[in-house]
Structure 1
Amino acid sequence: MRALIFSFRFLPLYFIFFGSMAQEAIYLDDRRELFVDQYLIANLNKATIRMHQPVDMGKVLEFDRPWEGAFSAYVTIIEEDGLFRTYYRGVPTAGKDGNSAEVTCYAESRDGVHWRKPDLGIYEVNGSKENNVILANAAPVTHNFSPFLDSNPTAKPAEKFKALGGTSESGLVAFTSADGINWTRLQEEPVFSQGVFDSQNVAFWSESESQYVCYFRSWTGKGYKGFRSVSRTTSKDFVHWTEPEPMGFGDTPYEHLYTQQTSPYFRAPHIYLAIGARFMPDRQVVSDAEAEKLGVNPKYYNDCSDVFLMSSRGGNQYVRQFMESFIRPGIGLQNWVSRSNYPALNVVQTGETEMSIYVNQDYAQPSAHLRRYALRLDGFASLSAGYEGGEMISKPFIFEGEQLEVNYSTSAAGEIRIELLDGFGNKLPGYSMEEAQPVIGNEISRFVFWNNSSDVSDLAGNPVRMRVYLKDADLYSFRFK
């Protein structure tokens, strides 16, 4: 009886603490979580967050048509129901941004590897309509025309695809399309004008924020004396946009971010990945003689570029967890010229366990082309530990689901064990490290077991923490499913 009285006497205090914990806990629902930031991490002990480098899979698309050429750039990849579409600027000679020679080109593929350029017969270019041009005579929109597949559930069928393009002279002009090939200007005047725009300016419908977001070129400091940077604006209707906000980068140093290519990751759309081009002005690698031998335009070998990786979960902040290059320039001086190594917008799945990132290379050279790089699904970064072992303890979170699914890799000697704790960090009977079945192998999807059961539904809806022990292993993502 005394124990019962004691329990009820302190029950209100328990609910105060538990209620506070529930308010502080991160609500995951059944979303997949990656390790591109430390959003869920409370503590690391002998474990690290490791960025992984995509594997070069070779050339997939040459910019070899007369209206394409050495200065083709600003590529977008869109996948829908097994059809891959790519859009890019075609212009064979260097000129002022937004000049009349620039066109928007189109190619398509059924596997993301083998591409064809259909003769669309829409615009006459060089005296013929036998070409793959989907937009012409629309300067300066064709300088950086950047489309997306609109996932807004209220989007009109005739506006299934949307796009923005333009420079500071025109502002960002909006286009729409029902099929991704035939495009119509949404309105005569630009939809947004408060920016510099001399790069690829990207937009998409955000499921997590329930609005359109646009990330566009801006500059730090005054005029062009600072760094190329990124700002953001939002819209409910794709026509009326909010006052822009400059994006923050935490305490990382400023660098010239020529493109940012921010887009929702298709397996975790609440996480936006920015896989863009870092530009290093006046960092010359190629000599005059070497440039002449390569056939590089004289104005385009005084600088170099590579690919960076950062992320955002909405709002005006990026997390730049890695300052190191995500994709380094390849072997050969042709990769070390100005404005080469610029990644395309969007990551797409190209195999059962594979996703692809596309990068334009050999810029300002006769050999200009698009190249494919591959990663395992979710394989941008991992929670990792070596042979001596390490662990991570998460922040409190609340999930919905019945099983814990992991994407992971271990060595033959390695393993992963996962323990579920209550929100205060106390062991939960049935889900302890001692009861956890070792996870060994290399799989995109596997459920975690404790005492021969993977059922975690009793814990759903309550604050919990996750303790992950790794030995010579990587955990790429997890999800309560």
Structure 2
Amino acid sequence: MPMLNIGSTKQLFFDDYLIESLVNAKQGLNPAVKVDNNPVIRAERPWEGNFMRPNKVIFDPIDGIFKMWYSSATITVHLENGKPVPGGAAGLLLDTHGSVMCLATSKDGIHWERPSLGLVQFDGSTDNNILPTKEGLPPAPAFQDLREKDPAKRYKALMMIGDTQKRGMQYDLYYSPDGINWTPYEGNPVIDTGQELGRWAGRFQGWDPIRETYYVTMEASHHWRGPYGKRLIGKAESPDMIHWSEPEIILVPDKDDYPDTEFYSLPVFAYEGIYVGLLWIFRTTNVTHHPEVIFSRDGFHFQRNYREPYIPRGGSRADFDFSSVYAQDTIIHGDNIFTYYIGTNSRSPEIAFELGDKSTEGIGLAVSRLDGFVSLDSGKGWVVKDRSEEELRHIYGERQIFEEPESFGQMTTRPFGFSGSRLYLNTSMAPIAAGPSPGEVKVEILRANHKKLPGFSFNDADSITVGGTSQVVSWNGNSDVSALAGKPIKLRFYFKNAKLYSFQFK
């Protein structure tokens, strides 16, 4: 069997691909943390209503700023004689007024400004950030295509004509130099179901740098009208955004899901050579949504090992994201991972009616540390030993520091080869009050047959006691491992009061 060669690719711990064994350690989800100023854009202008959502968020490397296309409207339950009126797709009639698409910009992705675009009149003035929209044209880009050589096609979007309930659904392709002014592809439609029912609703589109193709992830089940009677996730690919493969179902609820679980949508992005998805879990009985982080190594077969919410819903009914959290765009920025989301406290019109003027939808942001989706977590470093009652009485309340290897959580990798001259860790330490000793990480290098390499043993390893996203590993003060590059080795991590997120040779 050929040796696994990881080169200088960063290795995360979301699955057992490289993990041979774990001792007193476990993989765990790290939910993203909502920023304090959520919702990050509030309805503060006359043209902004109680419902606001991010349609697209990017960091534009050309202009060096974050950009957000967001929509806003005032939506209320339609009342006659003070009572809601049955009807419409949602079960009760809704009144929608003042729908607009707007553009916001930001230097840090957290604090946003509304540039005066001068493009659309509102109450006799063009001093606003409203974007021009036109029936039949995309209101916002699906993605920014930085590979595109033609600047007139820098932004792309597929736009659906028809729906999944009727025959003859089509998709048209549009290009734009700026995400505002759109030109249709001359060969539209690029998707035409003819006399078949609509095949898919492609919410998330983009370029896949791993498989080097364009993709769409979609609800590929004719909404709930497919054979399963539930919403499911599918995927299609294209070399050019024009010629598309037949959609393939890639995710269905399983026996570990609640009976009312459906999959509403799947934003997915490439991250360090793997696919990370934020699967929208829809509980139809509870009428709630939350994102679940899932992983894949091929883009089609996803692992759902962590079923807790990646971004939890709000805790109070009046919170803007109490009912549903719909993850949208994820942006890697510095040492942080930003995930923007739609939050609402009134997924159903019945709840909107009950909440009255507190019914809302807003633009949220949750942040994770770099590589921080999943970590290997260890314990405090206690060693279970037989002690007399007098010894236990003596040590109670004192910090006991144990240095022997068995006091550490341990993870041993499978054999692999690498390229590079140094080993870097992404790790964090627990607060000192959380355990009897400070956080500590040591790394041992073994031969493929498990024998220790002279100079790289536990006793040779220097302790890492400070967290960071790129901590250099060393042995007796020496961090150079270039002599081992290309040879089969194993790593054994020893850690206590600490989390490990990733490692990388470079």
- TM-score, normalising length from structure 2? 0.75
- Equivalent position of 2:268 in the other structure: 262
- Equivalent position of 2:404 in the other structure: none
Compute the displacement of 1:396 (Å). Answer: 2.8
The aligned runs of 1:19-58 (5 Å cut-off) are 20-22=1-3, 25=4, 27-57=5-35, 58=37
The aligned runs of 1:335-350 (5 Å cut-off) are 335=319, 340-349=324-333
The aligned runs of 1:462-473 (5 Å cut-off) are 462-473=487-498
Q: Does 1:399 align with 2:398?
A: no
- The unaligned stretches of length 5 or more in structure 2 are 77-87, 91-95, 164-168, 347-357, 382-407, 433-437
- Cα distance between partner residues in 2 of 1:321 and 1:167: 37
- Equivalent position of 2:153 in the other structure: 159
- Equivalent position of 1:377 in the other structure: 370
- Equivalent position of 2:115 in the other structure: 118
- Cα distance between partner residues in 1 of 2:422 and 2:43: 47
- Cα distance between partner residues in 1 of 2:416 and 2:374: 21
- Equivalent position of 2:189 in the other structure: 190
SS of 2:75 mapped into structure 1: coil
The aligned runs of 1:175-214 (5 Å cut-off) are 175-187=174-186, 189-192=188-191, 197-198=200-201, 201-214=203-216
Given that 1:249 and 1:318 are in contact with CA atoms closer than 8 Å, whether structure 2 keeps it comes out as no
Which is worse superposed, 308-317 or 420-429?
Answer: 420-429
- Equivalent position of 2:427 in the other structure: 408
- Cα distance between partner residues in 2 of 1:441 and 1:182: 50
Q: Report % sequence identity.
A: 30
**Amino acid in structure 2 at the alignment position of 1:382:** S
Compute the displacement of 1:418 (Å). Answer: 1.5
SS of 1:158 mapped into structure 2: helix
Q: Per-residue displacement from partner, 1:94-132 (whole Å, max 9, x unpaired)?
A: 7879x9986543211111122122343445678875553
- Cα distance between partner residues in 2 of 1:250 and 1:393: 33
* Count of matched residue positions in the alignment of Structure 1 and Structure 2: 430
Compute the displacement of 1:61 (Å). Answer: 0.6
Indicate which of 86, 96, 99 corresponds to 2:68.
86
Indicate which of 479, 483, 486 corresponds to 1:454.
479
- Equivalent position of 2:234 in the other structure: 231
Indicate which of 441, 451, 455 corresponds to 1:430.
455
SS of 1:359 mapped into structure 2: strand
Q: Does 1:355 align with 2:337?
A: yes
- Equivalent position of 1:326 in the other structure: 310
- Cα distance between partner residues in 2 of 1:246 and 1:479: 34
- Cα distance between partner residues in 2 of 1:41 and 1:221: 39
Given that 2:314 and 2:322 are in contact with CA atoms closer than 8 Å, whether structure 1 keeps it comes out as no
- Cα distance between partner residues in 1 of 2:186 and 2:297: 31
Compute the displacement of 1:446 (Å). Answer: 1.1
Q: Per-residue displacement from partner, 1:323-351 (whole Å, max 9, x unpaired)?
A: 111121122103488963212212342xx
> Per the alignment, do residues 233 and 31 of structure 1 end up closer, same or farther by CA in structure 2, a change over 3 Å counting?
same
- Cα distance between partner residues in 1 of 2:187 and 2:128: 27
Compute the displacement of 1:85 (Å). Answer: 0.9
- Cα distance between partner residues in 1 of 2:318 and 2:186: 42
> Per the alignment, do residues 468 and 253 of structure 1 end up closer, same or farther by CA in structure 2, a change over 3 Å counting?
same
Given that 1:341 and 1:361 are in contact with CA atoms closer than 8 Å, whether structure 2 keeps it comes out as yes
Q: Does 1:244 align with 2:243?
A: no
Which is worse superposed, 121-130 or 49-58?
Answer: 121-130
- Cα distance between partner residues in 2 of 1:332 and 1:429: 58
**Amino acid in structure 2 at the alignment position of 1:137:** K
Q: Per-residue displacement from partner, 1:172-195 (whole Å, max 9, x unpaired)?
A: 433222233433333462334576
Given that 1:175 and 1:184 are in contact with CA atoms closer than 8 Å, whether structure 2 keeps it comes out as yes
Compute the displacement of 1:369 (Å). Answer: 2.0
SS of 2:497 mapped into structure 1: strand
Given that 1:70 and 1:93 are in contact with CA atoms closer than 8 Å, whether structure 2 keeps it comes out as yes
Q: Per-residue displacement from partner, 1:134-192 (whole Å, max 9, x unpaired)?
A: 462235854xx55222243x542322222334365354433222233433333462334
Compute the displacement of 1:449 (Å). Answer: 0.6
Given that 2:314 and 2:321 are in contact with CA atoms closer than 8 Å, whether structure 1 keeps it comes out as no
**Amino acid in structure 2 at the alignment position of 1:78:** I
Structure 1 vs Structure 2 CA RMSD: 3.2
Given that 1:334 and 1:362 are in contact with CA atoms closer than 8 Å, whether structure 2 keeps it comes out as no
**Amino acid in structure 2 at the alignment position of 1:426:** K
- Cα distance between partner residues in 2 of 1:64 and 1:224: 45
